[in-house]
Chains A and B, each alone.
Chain A
Amino acid sequence: MLESVTSAALVSALDGLSARQRAIADNIANVNTPGYKAKRIDFEDALRASVARRDGHVKATGRESLDPTRLDGNNVNLDVETLSNIQAVLSYQFATQAVNGQFSSIRTALRTA
């Protein structure tokens, strides 16, 4: 219970989402830097596969975006970054709630003993 697939998957999701938030912060900080390539963080597909294998431990992987660049060689899209930032924040809050739910189930189990 304390080291279940669910908690491992939630921790992996929290790690991946916070890595994504750092990447987005980097992308937006460099929105006007000539030659900068946007960074992307992937973990969802690997996490889904890992949960199917009853594991849940996944490391997020980073890559550079292949989106077309502007004339200055930069390919950061402010709208895309802002939207995925908001999405990452909400997913993160959602995952923290799920973690808290896990903890409160454990607490309930401890009390019934």
Chain B
Amino acid sequence: MNAPATFLHRGLTHLEQLESEAIHILREVVAEAERPVMLYSVGKDSAVMLHLARKAFFPAPPPFPLLHVDTTWKFRDMYALRDRVAREAGVELIVHRNPEAERRGINPFDHGSLHTDLWKTEGLRQALDLHGFDAAFGGARRDEDKSRAKERIFSFRSAQHRWDPKNQRPELWSLYNSRKSRGETMRVFPLSNWTELDIWQYIYAESIPIVPLYLAAPRPTVVRDGMILMVDDDRFPLREGEVPVQRSVRFRTLGCYPLTGAVESRAATLPQVIREMLLANTSERQNRAIDHDGASSMERKKQEGYF
């Protein structure tokens, strides 16, 4: 972080400590894994993670590629930022789309949870196997979901990419055990100890580029099942009598646009977003369709290999 003048007279701030911890984790993995990759979803957590990777290996570019497991249904702003950011960081960008999902035209409107299963869960497995990656950085945080509170920073998956909650290693001090058997892979979460607020404050402090959808602006939206959805392109099938309405909205998480709920807000700058967070009263995952089917759904999805 940019050290203010008072730096010498105090200890590190919480953001400086989180940053340093994450950089330490990134370096450990690069030193010990054979073929690491960073999962890059173009969201705010990915943005922070990539920024930290640039810091960790400066003046060299991050010594691993970015992997975007694409579903073809992301917001258009996300695709634009993805390509620009990868170029600026000097890293290779691998985009993987599950060929089977592509062939079958899987989409969130007609296929329900199959959309996530095929594009994301299966797509990720395919990409990891295809390139032989043995370690994948993910931007998940422990504060996102109750079942993630116990997730390790280094999380091991069997050769079949399954997560076994009973067979995770204790993590002591900052001594990570990254030894693994052949075929086993690991997911590593450098942002484990960050909260949503930390992420926003860090993005603000470090001027990290993010998708503009995180800031409020008038956008064409419809309301379905209590969720405000953005009509991002003309693939969005409007129902009888449904007319998109211009609402001032922003997003707290970004995924496939038909599955990602917006919040009504007039927070058009980062300080306003942070202010709103400090005053906030809903958690970020509430606006994700995927999390609503049952209290233990995230945990089940994780066991199946979804992040």
Q: Do A and B come from one complex?
A: no
